[in-house]
Structure 1
Protein backbone atom coordinates (compact mmCIF):
# COMPACT_ATOMS: atom_id res chain seq x y z
CA UNK A 1 0.00 0.00 0.00
CA UNK A 2 1.05 3.58 -0.53
CA UNK A 3 1.95 5.64 2.50
CA UNK A 4 -0.82 8.19 2.13
CA UNK A 5 -0.91 9.76 5.59
CA UNK A 6 1.46 12.59 6.41
CA UNK A 7 3.80 11.96 9.30
CA UNK A 8 3.21 14.50 12.03
CA UNK A 9 5.87 17.19 11.90
CA UNK A 10 7.27 19.05 14.92
CA UNK A 11 5.62 22.45 15.15
CA UNK A 12 8.97 24.12 14.40
CA UNK A 13 9.10 22.47 10.97
CA UNK A 14 7.07 23.86 8.12
CA UNK A 15 5.80 21.57 5.37
CA UNK A 16 7.34 22.19 1.97
CA UNK A 17 3.96 21.92 0.21
CA UNK A 18 1.19 24.05 1.68
CA UNK A 19 -1.47 22.30 -0.43
CA UNK A 20 -1.89 18.58 -1.22
CA UNK A 21 0.23 17.39 -4.11
CA UNK A 22 -0.82 13.71 -4.29
CA UNK A 23 -4.06 11.78 -4.19
CA UNK A 24 -4.30 8.01 -3.64
CA UNK A 25 -7.13 5.69 -4.61
CA UNK A 26 -7.74 2.03 -5.37
CA UNK A 27 -8.92 0.51 -8.62
CA UNK A 28 -10.00 -2.94 -7.46
CA UNK A 29 -6.76 -4.59 -6.37
CA UNK A 30 -4.56 -1.91 -7.94
CA UNK A 31 -3.22 0.92 -5.79
CA UNK A 32 -2.95 4.17 -7.70
CA UNK A 33 -1.73 7.67 -6.92
CA UNK A 34 -1.89 10.90 -8.90
CA UNK A 35 1.08 13.18 -8.22
CA UNK A 36 1.27 16.84 -9.25
CA UNK A 37 4.53 17.73 -10.97
CA UNK A 38 3.62 21.43 -10.76
CA UNK A 39 2.16 23.94 -13.25
CA UNK A 40 3.50 25.12 -16.60
CA UNK A 41 2.72 28.76 -17.53
CA UNK A 42 1.76 28.89 -21.21
CA UNK A 43 0.19 31.46 -23.55
CA UNK A 44 -3.55 30.98 -23.97
CA UNK A 45 -3.16 31.10 -27.75
CA UNK A 46 -1.81 27.53 -27.63
CA UNK A 47 -5.05 26.30 -26.05
CA UNK A 48 -7.23 26.50 -29.17
CA UNK A 49 -5.39 27.40 -32.35
CA UNK A 50 -8.40 26.92 -34.67
CA UNK A 51 -10.89 28.83 -32.50
CA UNK A 52 -12.09 32.34 -33.21
CA UNK A 53 -10.11 34.58 -30.81
CA UNK A 54 -13.34 36.13 -29.55
CA UNK A 55 -14.78 32.68 -28.78
CA UNK A 56 -11.62 31.68 -26.93
CA UNK A 57 -11.64 34.95 -24.97
CA UNK A 58 -15.29 34.37 -24.07
CA UNK A 59 -14.55 30.84 -22.84
CA UNK A 60 -11.59 32.05 -20.78
CA UNK A 61 -13.77 34.70 -19.20
CA UNK A 62 -16.49 32.19 -18.35
CA UNK A 63 -13.85 29.99 -16.71
CA UNK A 64 -12.38 32.94 -14.73
CA UNK A 65 -9.04 32.40 -16.43
CA UNK A 66 -6.61 35.18 -17.45
CA UNK A 67 -6.71 36.20 -21.12
CA UNK A 68 -3.03 35.92 -22.00
CA UNK A 69 -1.32 33.20 -19.96
CA UNK A 70 -2.59 30.31 -17.92
CA UNK A 71 -1.15 27.67 -15.60
CA UNK A 72 -1.22 24.29 -17.33
CA UNK A 73 -1.39 21.56 -14.65
CA UNK A 74 1.01 18.64 -15.00
CA UNK A 75 0.22 15.28 -13.39
CA UNK A 76 1.96 11.92 -13.32
CA UNK A 77 0.74 8.63 -11.84
CA UNK A 78 2.07 5.68 -9.92
CA UNK A 79 0.33 2.30 -9.83
CA UNK A 80 1.05 -0.87 -7.89
CA UNK A 81 -0.20 -4.16 -9.30
CA UNK A 82 1.06 -7.40 -7.82
CA UNK A 83 4.78 -7.03 -7.17
CA UNK A 84 5.23 -4.26 -9.77
CA UNK A 85 5.37 -0.50 -9.18
CA UNK A 86 4.70 1.45 -12.36
CA UNK A 87 5.45 5.14 -12.93
CA UNK A 88 3.26 6.64 -15.67
CA UNK A 89 5.09 9.59 -17.21
CA UNK A 90 7.93 11.41 -15.46
CA UNK A 91 7.08 15.10 -15.52
CA UNK A 92 9.21 17.98 -16.69
CA UNK A 93 12.42 17.82 -14.73
CA UNK A 94 14.41 20.84 -13.58
CA UNK A 95 16.48 21.72 -16.63
CA UNK A 96 13.98 24.19 -18.14
CA UNK A 97 14.34 27.65 -16.55
CA UNK A 98 11.07 28.93 -18.01
CA UNK A 99 9.04 26.55 -15.80
CA UNK A 100 10.38 27.03 -12.26
CA UNK A 101 7.33 25.59 -10.46
CA UNK A 102 7.27 22.26 -12.29
CA UNK A 103 9.59 19.27 -11.96
CA UNK A 104 8.36 18.32 -8.51
CA UNK A 105 7.58 14.62 -8.86
CA UNK A 106 10.75 13.07 -7.33
CA UNK A 107 10.45 14.84 -3.98
CA UNK A 108 6.69 14.39 -3.95
CA UNK A 109 7.06 10.65 -4.52
CA UNK A 110 9.54 10.60 -1.65
CA UNK A 111 7.09 12.49 0.56
CA UNK A 112 4.51 9.79 -0.21
CA UNK A 113 6.94 7.05 0.85
CA UNK A 114 7.64 5.83 -2.69
CA UNK A 115 11.31 5.35 -3.51
CA UNK A 116 12.56 5.63 -7.06
CA UNK A 117 14.48 2.42 -6.43
CA UNK A 118 11.17 0.58 -6.02
CA UNK A 119 9.91 1.39 -9.54
CA UNK A 120 9.94 -1.71 -11.76
CA UNK A 121 8.34 -0.16 -14.86
CA UNK A 122 7.89 3.25 -16.45
CA UNK A 123 5.21 3.93 -19.06
CA UNK A 124 5.78 6.94 -21.32
CA UNK A 125 2.57 8.21 -22.95
CA UNK A 126 4.66 10.25 -25.39
CA UNK A 127 8.10 11.83 -25.54
CA UNK A 128 7.31 15.53 -25.07
CA UNK A 129 9.65 17.17 -22.56
CA UNK A 130 7.01 17.46 -19.83
CA UNK A 131 6.57 13.67 -19.87
CA UNK A 132 10.17 12.44 -20.08
CA UNK A 133 12.21 15.38 -18.72
CA UNK A 134 11.98 14.13 -15.15
CA UNK A 135 14.09 11.10 -16.08
CA UNK A 136 16.90 13.40 -17.24
CA UNK A 137 17.41 15.18 -13.91
CA UNK A 138 20.92 14.50 -12.57
CA UNK A 139 20.89 11.61 -10.12
CA UNK A 140 17.54 10.14 -11.19
CA UNK A 141 18.88 7.49 -13.57
CA UNK A 142 21.38 6.33 -10.97
CA UNK A 143 18.56 5.71 -8.49
CA UNK A 144 16.43 3.68 -10.88
CA UNK A 145 16.88 -0.07 -10.91
CA UNK A 146 19.29 -1.26 -13.60
CA UNK A 147 16.56 -3.63 -14.83
CA UNK A 148 13.77 -1.03 -14.93
CA UNK A 149 11.56 -1.46 -17.99
CA UNK A 150 10.52 1.69 -19.87
CA UNK A 151 7.55 1.10 -22.14
CA UNK A 152 6.97 3.36 -25.16
CA UNK A 153 5.25 2.89 -28.51
CA UNK A 154 7.41 2.15 -31.55
CA UNK A 155 5.64 4.87 -33.52
CA UNK A 156 6.69 7.38 -30.87
CA UNK A 157 10.36 6.40 -30.94
CA UNK A 158 10.36 6.43 -34.74
CA UNK A 159 8.73 9.87 -34.88
CA UNK A 160 11.35 11.51 -32.67
CA UNK A 161 14.17 10.27 -34.84
CA UNK A 162 13.08 13.04 -37.26
CA UNK A 163 10.14 14.94 -35.76
CA UNK A 164 7.73 17.04 -37.81
CA UNK A 165 6.48 20.29 -36.24
CA UNK A 166 4.85 21.67 -39.39
CA UNK A 167 1.31 21.44 -38.01
CA UNK A 168 1.99 22.57 -34.45
CA UNK A 169 1.56 26.13 -33.14
CA UNK A 170 4.06 26.40 -30.28
CA UNK A 171 6.07 29.25 -28.78
CA UNK A 172 9.22 29.68 -30.90
CA UNK A 173 11.80 28.10 -28.53
CA UNK A 174 9.72 25.01 -27.79
CA UNK A 175 10.23 22.75 -30.83
CA UNK A 176 14.01 22.70 -30.49
CA UNK A 177 13.75 21.97 -26.76
CA UNK A 178 11.27 19.16 -27.43
CA UNK A 179 13.57 17.73 -30.10
CA UNK A 180 16.69 17.84 -27.94
CA UNK A 181 14.93 16.44 -24.88
CA UNK A 182 13.49 13.48 -26.78
CA UNK A 183 16.93 12.82 -28.29
CA UNK A 184 18.57 12.93 -24.84
CA UNK A 185 15.92 10.61 -23.40
CA UNK A 186 16.47 8.05 -26.14
CA UNK A 187 20.25 8.25 -25.78
CA UNK A 188 20.14 7.79 -22.00
CA UNK A 189 17.56 5.00 -21.84
CA UNK A 190 17.61 3.17 -25.16
CA UNK A 191 18.97 0.01 -23.52
CA UNK A 192 16.02 -0.05 -21.10
CA UNK A 193 13.24 0.63 -23.61
CA UNK A 194 10.52 -1.98 -24.02
CA UNK A 195 9.06 -0.95 -27.36
CA UNK A 196 5.53 -2.09 -28.24
CA UNK A 197 3.51 -1.78 -31.43
CA UNK A 198 -0.12 -1.14 -30.42
CA UNK A 199 -0.80 -2.60 -26.96
CA UNK A 200 1.01 -4.17 -24.02
CA UNK A 201 -0.07 -5.49 -20.63
CA UNK A 202 2.66 -4.10 -18.39
CA UNK A 203 1.34 -5.65 -15.17
CA UNK A 204 -1.87 -7.45 -14.19
CA UNK A 205 -4.66 -5.03 -15.08
CA UNK A 206 -2.27 -2.32 -16.35
CA UNK A 207 -2.43 -1.97 -20.14
CA UNK A 208 -0.85 0.71 -22.35
CA UNK A 209 -2.30 1.21 -25.83
CA UNK A 210 -1.36 3.52 -28.67
CA UNK A 211 -3.93 6.10 -29.75
CA UNK A 212 -1.85 8.44 -31.89
CA UNK A 213 -3.13 11.95 -32.53
CA UNK A 214 -1.29 14.24 -30.17
CA UNK A 215 1.89 12.55 -31.36
CA UNK A 216 2.06 9.50 -33.65
CA UNK A 217 2.85 7.16 -30.77
CA UNK A 218 0.78 8.87 -28.08
CA UNK A 219 -0.67 6.23 -25.74
CA UNK A 220 -3.14 5.94 -22.90
CA UNK A 221 -2.95 3.61 -19.90
CA UNK A 222 -5.89 1.58 -18.60
CA UNK A 223 -6.06 0.31 -15.02
CA UNK A 224 -8.71 -2.39 -14.78
CA UNK A 225 -9.40 -4.61 -11.76
CA UNK A 226 -12.67 -6.29 -10.88
CA UNK A 227 -15.49 -4.00 -11.95
CA UNK A 228 -13.42 -0.82 -11.60
CA UNK A 229 -11.40 1.00 -14.22
CA UNK A 230 -9.37 4.17 -14.70
CA UNK A 231 -7.82 5.65 -17.83
CA UNK A 232 -4.71 7.83 -17.72
CA UNK A 233 -5.20 9.73 -20.97
CA UNK A 234 -1.90 11.59 -21.21
CA UNK A 235 -2.36 14.60 -23.51
CA UNK A 236 -5.41 13.33 -25.36
CA UNK A 237 -7.55 16.01 -23.69
CA UNK A 238 -7.31 19.36 -21.96
CA UNK A 239 -9.79 21.38 -19.84
CA UNK A 240 -11.28 23.20 -22.83
CA UNK A 241 -11.97 19.90 -24.62
CA UNK A 242 -15.15 19.11 -22.70
CA UNK A 243 -16.89 22.23 -24.01
CA UNK A 244 -15.08 22.33 -27.34
CA UNK A 245 -13.60 18.93 -28.27
CA UNK A 246 -12.98 20.20 -31.80
CA UNK A 247 -10.67 23.00 -30.64
CA UNK A 248 -7.11 22.03 -31.50
CA UNK A 249 -4.18 22.42 -29.14
CA UNK A 250 -0.98 23.99 -30.43
CA UNK A 251 1.10 21.02 -29.22
CA UNK A 252 -0.80 18.48 -31.33
CA UNK A 253 1.31 17.16 -34.21
CA UNK A 254 -1.77 15.93 -36.10
CA UNK A 255 -4.67 18.17 -35.00
CA UNK A 256 -7.45 16.40 -36.94
CA UNK A 257 -6.38 12.96 -35.74
CA UNK A 258 -6.03 14.30 -32.19
CA UNK A 259 -9.64 15.51 -32.37
CA UNK A 260 -10.82 12.12 -33.59
CA UNK A 261 -8.92 10.36 -30.80
CA UNK A 262 -10.27 12.77 -28.18
CA UNK A 263 -13.89 12.22 -29.23
CA UNK A 264 -13.44 8.44 -29.35
CA UNK A 265 -11.96 8.37 -25.84
CA UNK A 266 -14.73 10.62 -24.50
CA UNK A 267 -17.35 8.26 -25.92
CA UNK A 268 -15.51 5.26 -24.50
CA UNK A 269 -15.43 6.86 -21.04
CA UNK A 270 -19.13 7.77 -21.20
CA UNK A 271 -19.98 4.17 -22.00
CA UNK A 272 -17.65 2.54 -19.48
CA UNK A 273 -18.35 5.06 -16.69
CA UNK A 274 -14.70 4.62 -15.75
CA UNK A 275 -12.53 7.19 -14.05
CA UNK A 276 -10.38 9.57 -16.07
CA UNK A 277 -7.03 11.12 -15.21
CA UNK A 278 -5.15 13.28 -17.71
CA UNK A 279 -1.78 14.94 -17.57
CA UNK A 280 -3.14 18.48 -17.92
CA UNK A 281 -6.46 18.45 -16.09
CA UNK A 282 -6.48 20.34 -12.77
CA UNK A 283 -5.07 18.25 -9.92
CA UNK A 284 -6.08 15.66 -8.77
CA UNK A 285 -7.57 15.28 -12.25
CA UNK A 286 -9.87 12.41 -11.26
CA UNK A 287 -13.42 12.33 -12.52
CA UNK A 288 -15.82 10.89 -15.06
CA UNK A 289 -17.15 12.01 -18.40
CA UNK A 290 -20.86 12.50 -18.99
CA UNK A 291 -22.56 13.36 -22.27
CA UNK A 292 -25.46 15.70 -22.94
CA UNK A 293 -26.17 15.27 -26.63
CA UNK A 294 -23.00 16.23 -28.46
CA UNK A 295 -21.61 18.08 -25.43
CA UNK A 296 -19.34 16.35 -22.93
CA UNK A 297 -19.24 17.22 -19.27
CA UNK A 298 -16.45 16.74 -16.74
CA UNK A 299 -17.70 15.33 -13.40
CA UNK A 300 -14.91 15.51 -10.79
CA UNK A 301 -14.92 13.02 -7.95
CA UNK A 302 -15.60 14.08 -4.37
CA UNK A 303 -12.33 13.73 -2.49
CA UNK A 304 -12.16 10.84 -0.05
CA UNK A 305 -9.92 11.71 2.90
Structure 2
Protein backbone atom coordinates (compact mmCIF):
# COMPACT_ATOMS: atom_id res chain seq x y z
CA UNK A 1 0.00 0.00 0.00
CA UNK A 2 1.62 3.22 -1.10
CA UNK A 3 0.63 6.86 -1.05
CA UNK A 4 -0.52 8.30 -4.35
CA UNK A 5 0.85 11.53 -5.74
CA UNK A 6 -1.13 11.72 -8.98
CA UNK A 7 -4.27 12.78 -7.13
CA UNK A 8 -3.52 16.28 -5.85
CA UNK A 9 -2.27 16.75 -2.31
CA UNK A 10 -2.25 20.39 -1.32
CA UNK A 11 -0.98 21.97 1.90
CA UNK A 12 -3.85 23.47 3.87
CA UNK A 13 -2.34 26.60 5.32
CA UNK A 14 -3.96 27.83 8.52
CA UNK A 15 -6.49 24.99 8.31
CA UNK A 16 -8.99 24.55 11.12
CA UNK A 17 -8.70 20.78 10.69
CA UNK A 18 -6.53 19.23 13.39
CA UNK A 19 -6.24 15.86 11.65
CA UNK A 20 -5.76 14.81 8.01
CA UNK A 21 -8.96 14.54 6.00
CA UNK A 22 -7.73 12.50 3.01
CA UNK A 23 -5.56 9.48 2.37
CA UNK A 24 -4.57 8.03 -0.99
CA UNK A 25 -3.56 4.59 -2.15
CA UNK A 26 -2.69 3.19 -5.54
CA UNK A 27 -4.38 0.03 -6.77
CA UNK A 28 -2.29 -1.04 -9.75
CA UNK A 29 -2.78 1.82 -12.23
CA UNK A 30 -5.85 3.24 -10.46
CA UNK A 31 -5.75 6.03 -7.89
CA UNK A 32 -8.06 5.84 -4.87
CA UNK A 33 -8.42 8.62 -2.31
CA UNK A 34 -10.41 8.20 0.90
CA UNK A 35 -11.90 11.52 2.02
CA UNK A 36 -13.50 12.16 5.40
CA UNK A 37 -16.89 13.88 5.37
CA UNK A 38 -16.62 14.18 9.15
CA UNK A 39 -18.25 12.20 11.95
CA UNK A 40 -21.77 11.47 13.22
CA UNK A 41 -22.68 10.91 16.89
CA UNK A 42 -24.86 7.79 17.05
CA UNK A 43 -25.92 5.83 20.11
CA UNK A 44 -24.54 2.31 20.07
CA UNK A 45 -27.92 0.84 20.99
CA UNK A 46 -29.07 1.68 17.45
CA UNK A 47 -26.09 -0.25 16.08
CA UNK A 48 -26.86 -3.42 18.10
CA UNK A 49 -30.61 -3.78 18.16
CA UNK A 50 -30.75 -7.57 18.65
CA UNK A 51 -28.28 -7.61 21.57
CA UNK A 52 -28.99 -7.64 25.30
CA UNK A 53 -27.69 -4.60 27.22
CA UNK A 54 -25.00 -6.64 29.01
CA UNK A 55 -23.46 -7.77 25.72
CA UNK A 56 -23.54 -4.24 24.38
CA UNK A 57 -21.92 -2.84 27.52
CA UNK A 58 -19.21 -5.49 27.48
CA UNK A 59 -18.21 -4.64 23.90
CA UNK A 60 -18.14 -0.92 24.64
CA UNK A 61 -16.18 -1.34 27.88
CA UNK A 62 -13.62 -3.55 26.15
CA UNK A 63 -12.93 -0.69 23.74
CA UNK A 64 -13.17 2.12 26.30
CA UNK A 65 -16.07 3.64 24.38
CA UNK A 66 -19.14 5.51 25.66
CA UNK A 67 -22.68 4.56 24.66
CA UNK A 68 -22.77 7.39 22.12
CA UNK A 69 -19.62 8.05 20.14
CA UNK A 70 -18.58 9.44 16.77
CA UNK A 71 -18.91 7.25 13.68
CA UNK A 72 -16.77 8.16 10.70
CA UNK A 73 -18.34 9.13 7.39
CA UNK A 74 -15.94 8.25 4.55
CA UNK A 75 -16.28 8.61 0.79
CA UNK A 76 -13.79 7.75 -1.94
CA UNK A 77 -12.63 9.34 -5.18
CA UNK A 78 -11.32 6.96 -7.84
CA UNK A 79 -9.38 7.94 -10.94
CA UNK A 80 -9.34 5.30 -13.67
CA UNK A 81 -8.11 6.44 -17.07
CA UNK A 82 -10.02 9.57 -18.05
CA UNK A 83 -12.76 9.05 -15.46
CA UNK A 84 -12.90 10.59 -11.99
CA UNK A 85 -15.48 8.81 -9.84
CA UNK A 86 -16.94 9.90 -6.51
CA UNK A 87 -18.39 7.06 -4.43
CA UNK A 88 -21.04 8.44 -2.06
CA UNK A 89 -21.29 12.10 -1.10
CA UNK A 90 -21.53 12.19 2.68
CA UNK A 91 -24.15 14.00 4.72
CA UNK A 92 -24.05 17.54 3.37
CA UNK A 93 -24.82 20.58 5.46
CA UNK A 94 -28.60 20.62 5.21
CA UNK A 95 -29.36 18.70 8.42
CA UNK A 96 -29.37 20.26 11.88
CA UNK A 97 -27.64 18.54 14.77
CA UNK A 98 -24.60 17.20 12.88
CA UNK A 99 -22.09 20.06 12.97
CA UNK A 100 -19.04 17.84 12.46
CA UNK A 101 -20.21 16.13 9.28
CA UNK A 102 -21.03 17.48 5.84
CA UNK A 103 -17.43 18.46 5.02
CA UNK A 104 -17.19 16.90 1.55
CA UNK A 105 -17.22 19.95 -0.72
CA UNK A 106 -14.65 21.76 1.39
CA UNK A 107 -12.41 18.72 1.58
CA UNK A 108 -12.67 17.92 -2.13
CA UNK A 109 -11.57 21.48 -2.78
CA UNK A 110 -8.67 21.14 -0.34
CA UNK A 111 -7.61 17.99 -2.19
CA UNK A 112 -7.63 19.86 -5.49
CA UNK A 113 -10.66 17.99 -6.84
CA UNK A 114 -13.24 20.26 -8.46
CA UNK A 115 -16.87 19.20 -8.62
CA UNK A 116 -16.86 19.69 -12.38
CA UNK A 117 -13.96 17.21 -12.66
CA UNK A 118 -16.26 14.35 -11.60
CA UNK A 119 -17.35 12.25 -14.57
CA UNK A 120 -19.25 9.67 -12.49
CA UNK A 121 -20.86 9.32 -9.07
CA UNK A 122 -21.71 5.93 -7.56
CA UNK A 123 -24.15 5.86 -4.66
CA UNK A 124 -24.02 2.75 -2.50
CA UNK A 125 -27.57 3.56 -1.38
CA UNK A 126 -29.83 6.58 -0.83
CA UNK A 127 -29.59 7.12 2.93
CA UNK A 128 -29.03 10.75 3.89
CA UNK A 129 -25.36 10.34 4.89
CA UNK A 130 -24.60 9.02 1.40
CA UNK A 131 -26.55 11.42 -0.84
CA UNK A 132 -26.82 14.55 1.31
CA UNK A 133 -23.58 16.03 -0.02
CA UNK A 134 -25.21 16.40 -3.45
CA UNK A 135 -28.10 18.45 -2.08
CA UNK A 136 -26.22 21.46 -0.74
CA UNK A 137 -26.61 24.93 -2.20
CA UNK A 138 -24.80 25.26 -5.51
CA UNK A 139 -23.54 21.67 -5.72
CA UNK A 140 -25.79 20.57 -8.58
CA UNK A 141 -24.89 23.66 -10.59
CA UNK A 142 -21.15 22.98 -10.22
CA UNK A 143 -21.36 19.37 -11.42
CA UNK A 144 -20.92 18.62 -15.10
CA UNK A 145 -24.21 18.53 -16.99
CA UNK A 146 -23.25 15.08 -18.30
CA UNK A 147 -22.14 13.59 -14.98
CA UNK A 148 -23.37 9.99 -14.67
CA UNK A 149 -24.90 8.94 -11.34
CA UNK A 150 -24.95 5.16 -10.88
CA UNK A 151 -27.55 3.63 -8.55
CA UNK A 152 -28.89 0.07 -8.39
CA UNK A 153 -32.34 -0.25 -9.93
CA UNK A 154 -33.57 -2.06 -6.81
CA UNK A 155 -32.60 0.97 -4.73
CA UNK A 156 -34.53 3.35 -6.96
CA UNK A 157 -37.58 1.10 -6.83
CA UNK A 158 -37.40 0.83 -3.03
CA UNK A 159 -37.48 4.58 -2.46
CA UNK A 160 -40.62 5.03 -4.52
CA UNK A 161 -42.48 3.55 -1.50
CA UNK A 162 -39.88 2.81 1.22
CA UNK A 163 -40.67 0.25 3.91
CA UNK A 164 -39.24 0.98 7.38
CA UNK A 165 -41.18 -1.76 9.18
CA UNK A 166 -38.06 -3.75 10.09
CA UNK A 167 -35.81 -0.83 11.02
CA UNK A 168 -35.22 0.41 14.58
CA UNK A 169 -34.26 4.06 14.16
CA UNK A 170 -34.72 7.14 16.34
CA UNK A 171 -38.24 8.39 15.63
CA UNK A 172 -37.42 11.45 13.45
CA UNK A 173 -35.03 9.61 11.14
CA UNK A 174 -37.35 7.66 8.79
CA UNK A 175 -39.20 10.82 7.74
CA UNK A 176 -35.91 12.61 7.13
CA UNK A 177 -34.62 9.67 5.07
CA UNK A 178 -37.80 9.62 2.99
CA UNK A 179 -37.65 13.35 2.35
CA UNK A 180 -33.94 13.28 1.49
CA UNK A 181 -34.30 10.43 -1.01
CA UNK A 182 -37.32 12.15 -2.57
CA UNK A 183 -35.38 15.39 -2.95
CA UNK A 184 -32.37 13.61 -4.44
CA UNK A 185 -34.52 11.79 -7.00
CA UNK A 186 -36.32 15.00 -7.93
CA UNK A 187 -33.04 16.88 -8.40
CA UNK A 188 -31.00 14.21 -10.18
CA UNK A 189 -33.30 11.69 -11.85
CA UNK A 190 -32.30 12.79 -15.35
CA UNK A 191 -28.64 12.04 -14.60
CA UNK A 192 -29.17 8.62 -13.00
CA UNK A 193 -28.01 5.49 -14.78
CA UNK A 194 -29.58 2.47 -13.10
CA UNK A 195 -27.94 -0.96 -13.07
CA UNK A 196 -29.22 -4.36 -12.04
CA UNK A 197 -26.67 -6.55 -10.24
CA UNK A 198 -23.26 -5.46 -11.56
CA UNK A 199 -21.98 -2.55 -13.59
CA UNK A 200 -18.50 -1.60 -14.78
CA UNK A 201 -18.28 2.10 -14.06
CA UNK A 202 -14.77 2.40 -15.52
CA UNK A 203 -11.94 0.01 -16.37
CA UNK A 204 -11.21 -1.87 -13.13
CA UNK A 205 -14.10 -0.24 -11.22
CA UNK A 206 -17.14 -2.47 -10.65
CA UNK A 207 -20.30 -1.66 -8.69
CA UNK A 208 -22.12 -4.73 -7.35
CA UNK A 209 -25.50 -4.85 -5.65
CA UNK A 210 -25.50 -6.69 -2.32
CA UNK A 211 -28.86 -5.74 -0.82
CA UNK A 212 -29.33 -6.22 2.91
CA UNK A 213 -28.79 -2.79 4.38
CA UNK A 214 -31.20 -1.48 1.76
CA UNK A 215 -32.58 -3.53 -1.15
CA UNK A 216 -30.26 -1.85 -3.64
CA UNK A 217 -27.21 -1.35 -1.45
CA UNK A 218 -24.03 -1.90 -3.45
CA UNK A 219 -20.29 -2.15 -2.94
CA UNK A 220 -17.58 -0.90 -5.30
CA UNK A 221 -14.51 -3.02 -6.09
CA UNK A 222 -11.36 -1.62 -7.68
CA UNK A 223 -8.94 -4.05 -9.37
CA UNK A 224 -5.75 -3.37 -11.33
CA UNK A 225 -2.37 -5.03 -11.74
CA UNK A 226 -3.09 -7.79 -9.25
CA UNK A 227 -4.19 -5.34 -6.53
CA UNK A 228 -7.74 -4.88 -5.26
CA UNK A 229 -9.76 -2.69 -2.90
CA UNK A 230 -13.42 -2.92 -1.92
CA UNK A 231 -15.45 0.03 -0.69
CA UNK A 232 -18.16 -1.64 1.37
CA UNK A 233 -20.48 1.28 2.09
CA UNK A 234 -22.77 0.36 5.00
CA UNK A 235 -22.43 -3.41 4.65
CA UNK A 236 -20.47 -3.34 7.90
CA UNK A 237 -19.82 -1.26 11.00
CA UNK A 238 -16.88 -1.53 13.44
CA UNK A 239 -18.63 -4.01 15.74
CA UNK A 240 -19.27 -6.37 12.81
CA UNK A 241 -15.80 -7.91 12.93
CA UNK A 242 -16.41 -9.28 16.43
CA UNK A 243 -20.15 -9.81 16.02
CA UNK A 244 -21.23 -10.01 12.36
CA UNK A 245 -24.66 -11.21 13.55
CA UNK A 246 -25.38 -7.99 15.47
CA UNK A 247 -27.97 -5.96 13.62
CA UNK A 248 -28.24 -2.20 13.38
CA UNK A 249 -31.43 -0.23 13.25
CA UNK A 250 -30.73 1.25 9.82
CA UNK A 251 -30.91 -2.15 8.12
CA UNK A 252 -34.10 -2.65 6.14
CA UNK A 253 -33.56 -6.43 5.96
CA UNK A 254 -31.53 -7.31 9.08
CA UNK A 255 -31.12 -11.04 8.39
CA UNK A 256 -29.97 -10.49 4.83
CA UNK A 257 -27.60 -7.75 6.02
CA UNK A 258 -25.92 -10.35 8.26
CA UNK A 259 -25.59 -12.73 5.30
CA UNK A 260 -24.08 -9.94 3.19
CA UNK A 261 -21.54 -9.17 5.92
CA UNK A 262 -20.50 -12.77 6.30
CA UNK A 263 -20.04 -13.28 2.55
CA UNK A 264 -18.10 -10.05 2.26
CA UNK A 265 -15.82 -10.84 5.21
CA UNK A 266 -15.09 -14.34 3.91
CA UNK A 267 -14.29 -13.05 0.43
CA UNK A 268 -12.04 -10.28 1.75
CA UNK A 269 -10.21 -12.63 4.10
CA UNK A 270 -9.65 -15.06 1.22
CA UNK A 271 -8.30 -12.45 -1.20
CA UNK A 272 -6.38 -10.36 1.33
CA UNK A 273 -7.40 -7.22 -0.54
CA UNK A 274 -7.87 -3.79 1.00
CA UNK A 275 -11.15 -2.76 2.59
CA UNK A 276 -12.60 0.72 3.04
CA UNK A 277 -16.07 1.32 4.53
CA UNK A 278 -18.19 4.35 5.25
CA UNK A 279 -18.24 4.09 9.02
CA UNK A 280 -14.85 2.59 9.88
CA UNK A 281 -12.51 5.08 11.51
CA UNK A 282 -10.77 7.26 8.93
CA UNK A 283 -8.82 6.48 6.79
CA UNK A 284 -10.47 3.07 7.00
CA UNK A 285 -7.83 1.32 4.91
CA UNK A 286 -7.04 -2.19 6.08
CA UNK A 287 -7.68 -5.88 5.62
CA UNK A 288 -9.84 -8.63 7.09
CA UNK A 289 -8.50 -11.73 8.84
CA UNK A 290 -10.38 -14.76 10.13
CA UNK A 291 -10.42 -14.90 13.93
CA UNK A 292 -12.05 -18.16 15.07
CA UNK A 293 -15.78 -17.85 14.43
CA UNK A 294 -15.47 -14.11 13.86
CA UNK A 295 -13.13 -11.77 12.01
CA UNK A 296 -10.39 -9.29 12.78
CA UNK A 297 -9.79 -5.82 11.35
CA UNK A 298 -6.12 -5.36 10.38
CA UNK A 299 -5.47 -1.64 9.87
CA UNK A 300 -3.08 -0.74 7.09
CA UNK A 301 0.18 0.99 7.97
CA UNK A 302 0.03 4.64 6.96
CA UNK A 303 2.45 5.48 4.18
CA UNK A 304 3.64 9.08 4.64
TM-score, structure 1 normalization: 0.97
Superposed counterparts of 1:225-240, under 5 Å = 225-240=224-239
Structure 2: segments with no counterpart, 5+ residues:
1-5
> Helix, strand or coil for the counterpart of 2:38?
coil
- Structure 2 residue aligned with 1:2, among 3, 7, 18? 7
Structure 1: segments with no counterpart, 5+ residues:
none
Where does residue 266 of structure 1 map in the other structure?
265
How many Å separate the matches in 1 of 2:289 and 2:109? Answer: 35
Where does residue 31 of structure 1 map in the other structure?
31
Q: Shift of residue 65 of structure 1?
A: 0.7
Where does residue 46 of structure 1 map in the other structure?
46
Q: Shift of residue 15 of structure 1?
A: 1.3
Where does residue 64 of structure 1 map in the other structure?
64
| Contact 2:121/2:147 (8 A) holds in 1 | yes
Size of the alignment, in residue pairs? 299
Where does residue 203 of structure 1 map in the other structure?
202
| Contact 2:124/2:151 (8 A) holds in 1 | yes
Where does residue 254 of structure 1 map in the other structure?
253
How many Å separate the matches in 1 of 2:89 and 2:53? Answer: 33
- Residue 245 (1) aligns with residue 254 (2): no
Superposed counterparts of 1:1-305, under 5 Å = 1-6=6-11, 9=13, 14-67=14-67, 69-305=68-304
How many Å separate the matches in 2 of 1:80 and 1:168? Answer: 35
How many Å separate the matches in 2 of 1:71 and 1:132? Answer: 19
Q: Shift of residue 245 of structure 1?
A: 0.4
TM-score, structure 2 normalization: 0.97
How many Å separate the matches in 2 of 1:55 and 1:294? Answer: 17
> Helix, strand or coil for the counterpart of 1:158?
helix
| Contact 2:213/2:235 (8 A) holds in 1 | yes
Q: Shift of residue 42 of structure 1?
A: 1.1
How many Å separate the matches in 2 of 1:228 and 1:261? Answer: 23
How many Å separate the matches in 2 of 1:293 and 1:279? Answer: 25
How many Å separate the matches in 1 of 2:97 and 2:169? Answer: 14
| Contact 1:92/1:131 (8 A) holds in 2 | yes
How many Å separate the matches in 2 of 1:29 and 1:6? Answer: 25
Q: Shift of residue 292 of structure 1?
A: 2.2
How many Å separate the matches in 1 of 2:27 and 2:21? Answer: 20
Q: List structure 1 segments (4+ residues) > 3 angstroms apart after TM superposition.
A: none
Q: Shift of residue 295 of structure 1?
A: 1.6
Q: Shift of residue 17 of structure 1?
A: 1.1
Which has the higher mean CA deviation after the structures are superposed, 45-54 or 80-89? Answer: 45-54
Q: Shift of residue 260 of structure 1?
A: 0.2
| Contact 2:10/2:110 (8 A) holds in 1 | no
Deviations along 1:31-89, one digit per CA (max 9) or x if unpaired, are 0100000011111210100011110011001111102x111110000000000000000
Q: Shift of residue 5 of structure 1?
A: 4.4
CA RMSD of aligned residues (A): 0.8
How many Å separate the matches in 2 of 1:18 and 1:98? Answer: 21
How many Å separate the matches in 2 of 1:98 and 1:171? Answer: 14
